[in-house]
Amino acid sequence: MTRVWSRRYAKRTLRMTSSAIRELLKVTEQPDVISFAGGLPAPEAFPVEEIAEAAQRILRDDGPRALQYSATEGYRPLREWVAAEMRAANVPASIEQVLITTGSQQALDLVGKVFVDPGDELVVETPTYLAALQAFTPYGAQYLSAPSDAHGIRTDAVEPLFARRPKLLYTVPTFQNPSGATLSAARRARLVEMAAAHGIPIVEDEPYRELRFQGRHLSRLISLEARRRGDSSDYRGGVLYASTFSKVLSPGMRVGYVVAPAEVIVKLVQAKQSADLNTATFNQMLVYELAVSGAIERNTKKVARLYAERRDAMLAALREHFPDGASWTQPDGGMFLWVTLPEDIDASELLEEAIAQHVAFVPGAPFHPNGGGANTLRLNFSNAAPERIHEGIARLGRALHARFPSAVPA
């Protein structure tokens, strides 16, 4: 019956697949399920009162503007605020180098739309952010996978891939999704230097940077690139930086941003015009209010303290309930950790049993664009309170023993 439509899908549409995470969200919305699946912030940490007050102020003082269409580039004061943040990070940016996007997810989609032709090769770390693959794949991207370890993408593995002249490299350097790994300072310097030598642009996706629990902040790749070039104004480097207010304020607000050379911003703006005309004006004004009032900074500190506790709870529960043959990362921040199970355990099979035990996670295979990773999985630790984390990991341990009795002796 629907053949009238299905026979007419574009080639890019046939490459589209549903996100394993979004599909799981449907299951995990049931209240008796403990979910380690979505990258959902802790709902109790949303600064609801402050947002309500700011919303009232904006509507009272500037209502007609907040409720109107606005420039595709974004709300000017918010662009200025982002530019100032970037200048503080030694990137000589003004509003010309800043585009406000509908979440940083839109930034990834616009990058795909603007840069990727069918057959283009992109270098990605393995595992990589699933929804980045979802953004790039419809445009016909092929992937060159560089392995990563506890210190992030392996730059020795990137070098030979650069020799193939890929279109760009995409990376999440800090508290990576899904692994939780952070690119070391030495590798950051090496990556930027290598990319410049080969003339390959880098897309730096940094939603989790501010959620640091311990250790010192490392320089953004875009800062290293700006320093390498020595631009005194108008950043023109080879690193495009994407970030978001989702993890430090609220993902429901859907406000993110891109910092890139002005000529790239112009192209991204053209691509965004047909996507949504503009990111919700009211939401941008809200984010701006909360940024200048210091509410975002206060909230970030609060959230980082809360997530550190939850990470510790999860690490303790894993030590208690997971078998010897399993290992996991110990992230210094962010929202995820990454588990590697004994070779012969398939995490998607484990998920079936886990759902039966009312606990959920995301299997690792979809984070591997070129196959592999069947015995890996991603656990989110930001959304559930410590007691629920203990209970959920205990359920997961039981699911492991129930489904794989020979691989996992009790």
Smallest distance, Å, CB 374 to ligand N5F? 19
Instruction: Kindly tell me which of 287 and 345 has the beta carbon lying closer to ligand N5F.
Output: 287
Smallest distance, Å, CB 351 to ligand N5F? 16
Instruction: Kindly tell me which of 128 and 357 has the beta carbon lying closer to ligand N5F.
Output: 128
Smallest distance, Å, CB 7 to ligand N5F? 30
Preceding peptide of 369 cis, ω within 30°: no
Which backbone phi and psi does 260 adopt, to 5 degrees?
-160, 170
Rounded Cα–Cα distance for residues 273 and 254 (Å): 17
Rounded Cα–Cα distance for residues 287 and 295 (Å): 10
Rounded Cα–Cα distance for residues 177 and 364 (Å): 11
Rounded Cα–Cα distance for residues 62 and 195 (Å): 45
Instruction: Kindly tell me which of 204 and 408 has the beta carbon lying closer to ligand N5F.
Output: 204
Instruction: Kindly tell me which of 250 and 408 has the beta carbon lying closer to ligand N5F.
Output: 250
Footprint of ligand N5F on this chain (CB under 6 A)? 19, 21-22, 25, 38-39, 103-105, 129, 172, 177, 205, 207, 244, 246, 251, 256
Instruction: Kindly tell me which of 22 and 319 has the beta carbon lying closer to ligand N5F.
Output: 22
- DSSP assignment of 362-396: EESGGG-TTS--TTEEEEE-SSS-HHHHHHHHHHH
386 CB-contact burial (10 Å; exposed 0-12 / middle 13-18 / buried 19+): middle
Smallest distance, Å, CB 106 to ligand N5F? 7
What are the C-alpha distances in Å from 153 to residues 157, 165, 243, 266?
8, 18, 19, 30
Instruction: Kindly tell me which of 242 and 350 has the beta carbon lying closer to ligand N5F.
Output: 242
* Coil/strand/helix, residue 103: helix
* Coil/strand/helix, residue 183: coil
Smallest distance, Å, CB 145 to ligand N5F? 17
Smallest distance, Å, CB 304 to ligand N5F? 16
